[in-house]
Amino acid sequence: MDTFDQSRVGAKKPRRDAPHGDSLTPLSSALPANATQWVSVWRRNYLVWKKLAIPSMIGNLADPMIYLFGLGLGLGLMVGRVEGVSYIAFLAAGTVASSVMMSASFESMYSGFSRMHVQRTWEAIMHTPLTLGDIVLGEVIWAASKSLLSGVAIMLVAGALGYASFPSMLLALPVIVLTGLAFASTAMIVTALAPSYDFFMFYQTLALTPMLLLSGVFFPVAQLPALARHLTQALPLYHAVELIRPAMLGRPLDGFALHTGVLIAYAVVPFFACAWLFRRRMMK
Amino acid sequence: MAHPISRIADDQDGAPAIEFSEVRKQYGGKNVVDGLSFDVRPGECFGLLGPNGAGKTTTLKMLLGITSPGSGAIRLVGEPIPARARFARERVGVVPQFDNLDPDFTVRENLQVFGRYFGIRGARMDALVPSLLEFARLENKADARVGELSGGMKRRLTLARALVNDPDVLVMDEPTTGLDPQARHLIWERLRSLLARGKTILLTTHFMEEAERLCDRLCVIEEGRKIAEGRPHDLIASVIGSDVIEIFGPDPQALAAELEPFVERIEVSGETLFCYVDDPQPVHARVKGRDGVRYLHRPANLEDVFLRLTGREMVD
C-alpha cells in the first residue's frame, strides 16, 4: 500500500496547529502491545533462518575467525604480550564484542530493510492484531539472538584453544545479549531512515568502523590520545569490551554499573527513537 | 470440526460492520480524503470506486488503523479506530493491493506463520490448513514455494491467508488487478462463496465489471469526496437512465453534430461517440451501412456511470 518516498526523509514536520493536518496514528500503535506478541515475529525470522542455518552461520563466523587468527597469530608474533596475556587472548574478547556488534547491526539493517521495505513482510503483519511496536521489538530481539550465536561461537573456539578461561567466560553471556540488543536497536534507527540499501554504508564506515578501532578491540584504549580516550567513553562497543574481556580472561571487573548502564541506555533509548521513526515512515 | 470458514448468522439488522463519518485526511496540505461518510452493513459487499489517486487506498489504511484521520470518526466491527484498531483487526482479513506473501516460505508455511500472528497454532492450525488450501484451490501446491506460483495462485493464497482468523469482514484493495481473465473469474467466484457464508466485504476497484458483479452497494469517490452512492442498478438508472449506442468511425465530431437532434445526450471520447438514447431507431437508421462506421447498441452499465461522474476524458 505504501511505497517509500525518498523525498520524505528529513521532510519538515507538519505544523501541529494545521486543521486536519497530517496526522499520525497514536504512539501506542508503534509500541509493543504486550509482553508476548513480538514472539511470533521472532519465530517467523527463526523459521526462515533455520532453512539456511549452516551457510548463514559459516558466513557469519568466517569473518571474525579470520580476524582473530590472522591478526591474533600473525600480528601477535610482533606484538608479544598485551596487558599480561598473549595478543590472541587479548584480541579474543574484542573479537567476540565486535562480531556481536557487526552481526546485530547487519541483521537490523540489511535483513530488517528487506522485510520492511522490499518484501513488505511488515505491512502484512500490520494487518494482524500485532502492532508496529511488536514487529520492531521482535526484529530487535531476533537480531540480538543472531549476534548471540556469533559471539558465543567465537568465545567457545577461543575457550577450546585455551585463550579464554572457563567458567568465568560464562559471565560474558548476559553481556553479549545486552550488547546485541544495544546494537540491534541502534541500527534500527538507521533502517528507519534508510531510502535504500546504499544508506547502510554510511553507518558502517562512519560509525561502526571507527568504533571498532577506538573501543579497545585491537589494542588497549590507554594507547589512545587523551581526547580519543574521552570519546571512547560514549561508545557502546568500548563498554561491551570492558565487560567481556575481564570475564574471558578471568580477571576482576571494574565499573560494572557504568558499563552495563551505558549498554542498557543504548538498547532502550534507540528502541523508542526507532519506534517513533518507523511510525512516521510506515503509518503516515 | 465445523468448516473453518464459518457461516455467519443472517442478522442484517445489527450495527454496521464499517462506519465512516465525515472522515478527512491531509497529506502535505492536500485533502486526500475529504469528508467521506459511508456505512457497510453486515453481510454486504460494498465497493469503493474511483480513479487512481481518488483516496481509496488511504481510506483502507485509515480503516485498518495504519494511518489516522485528521478528523471524523471510524468504526470497524464496532471498535473505534484507530484507538482499538488492533482488537478490530482480530476479526478482519486483509488482501492488500500488492502481494506481500513471504517468499522464504512454502504455501503451507505462509498460512501457518500468519496464523501465529492471530494466536492460532499447533493442532488447531494443522486442522485449518487443508480447508484453507481447498478454499483457495491450492491443494496440490501446499509445499510449493511462493515464487513457483502464478499471479492468480498468489492472489488466492493471499485470500486464504486473510481467512486464517475466520474474519467477519474482508478488506480488499483491488483484489483482481493484474490478473488474467480466468484468474479473475475464479477470484470472483471465491468471493461470492464468502458472501454466501455471510461475510462482509469492502473492496476497492477500478474494474466496473467487478463492481457490477460483486457489489451490493458502492460508492464512487473522486479527490477524496463521495460523488455517488447506491446499488449498481439504481445508479445506472438514476445517472444514465437510457441505452447507449457506441459509434466508432472517422470524424466523430461531424457525426456528433449530425446525430445531436436524435439523442438525449452525446459525448465524444477519442474516436468513439457515446449516444444516450431512449429511442434508438433514429440513430440506427442514420449509421447503419455507413462506410467505415461500426456501432454497438447496449444497455447502460456502471462504466457509463463512472465516466459520466468522473469525466470521459481522463486527466491522468
Q: A188-246, pLDDT tens digit by residue? A: 999 999 999 999 999 999 999 999 999 999 999 999 999 999 999 999 999 999 999 99
- pLDDT, position A130: 97
Q: Residue-wise pLDDT tens for chain A (284 aa)? A: 333 343 434 344 444 434 444 566 788 889 999 989 999 999 999 999 999 889 888 888 888 899 899 999 999 999 999 999 999 999 999 999 999 999 999 999 999 999 999 999 999 999 999 999 999 999 999 999 999 999 999 999 999 999 999 999 999 999 999 999 999 999 999 999 999 999 999 999 999 999 999 999 999 999 999 999 999 999 999 999 999 999 999 999 999 999 999 999 999 999 999 999 999 999 98
- Of B158, B134, B186, B196, the residue nearest B4 (C-alpha): B134
Domains recognised in chain B with CATH numbers: 18-235 (3.40.50.300), 242-299 (3.30.70)
Which chain B residues touch A40 with a CB distance below 8 Å?
A: 113, 116-117
Residue A26 to residue B83, Cβ atoms within 8 A: yes
Instruction: Name the packing angle between helices B122-135 and B107-117 (round to 10°).
Output: 130
- Write the pLDDT tens digit of every residue in B190-231: 999 999 999 999 999 988 889 999 999 999 999 999 999 999
Cβ neighbourhood burial of A136 (10 Å; 0-12, 13-18, 19+): buried
Question: Dihedral of the CA atoms B272, B278, B279, B282 (nearest 10)?
Answer: -40
Q: Do B103 and A123 touch (CB under 8 A)?
A: no
* Cβ-contact A113, A192 below 8 angstroms: no
pLDDT of residue B312: 55
Q: What is the pLDDT of residues B146-174, one digit of tens each?
A: 999 999 999 999 999 999 999 999 999 99
Asked if B102 lies within 8 A of A119 by C-beta distance, the reply is yes
A167: distance to nearest CA of chain B, Å? 39
Residue B8 in this model has a pLDDT that exceeds 80: no
The predicted-structure confidence for B126-144, as pLDDT tens digits, reads as follows: 999 999 999 999 999 999 9
Cell 479473475, residue located? B184
Q: Which of A274, A191, A266 minimizes the C-alpha distance to A233?
A: A266
Interface pTM, i.e. ipTM: 0.90
Average model confidence (pLDDT) for chain B?
91
Contact B86/A29, CB-based, under 8 Å?
yes
Nearest beta carbon to residue A29 from set B31, B82, B105: B82
CB contact A8 to B (< 8 Å):
no
- Are B90 and A129 a contacting pair at CB < 8 A? yes
Note the pLDDT of residue B144.
97
Cell of B41: 452493513
pLDDT on residue A20: 41
Contacts of A125 in chain B (CB under 8 A): 117
Chain B residue nearest residue A50, CA to CA? B104
Give the three-class secondary structure for A85: strand
Provide, as residue numbers in chain B, all residues whose Cβ is less than 8 Å from the Cβ of A128: 89, 114, 117-118, 165
What's the confidence (pLDDT) of residue B12? 52
Residue carrying the nine cell digits 604480550:
A81
The β-bridge partners of B31 are B26
Confidence label for B233 from pLDDT (cuts 50, 70 and 90): very high
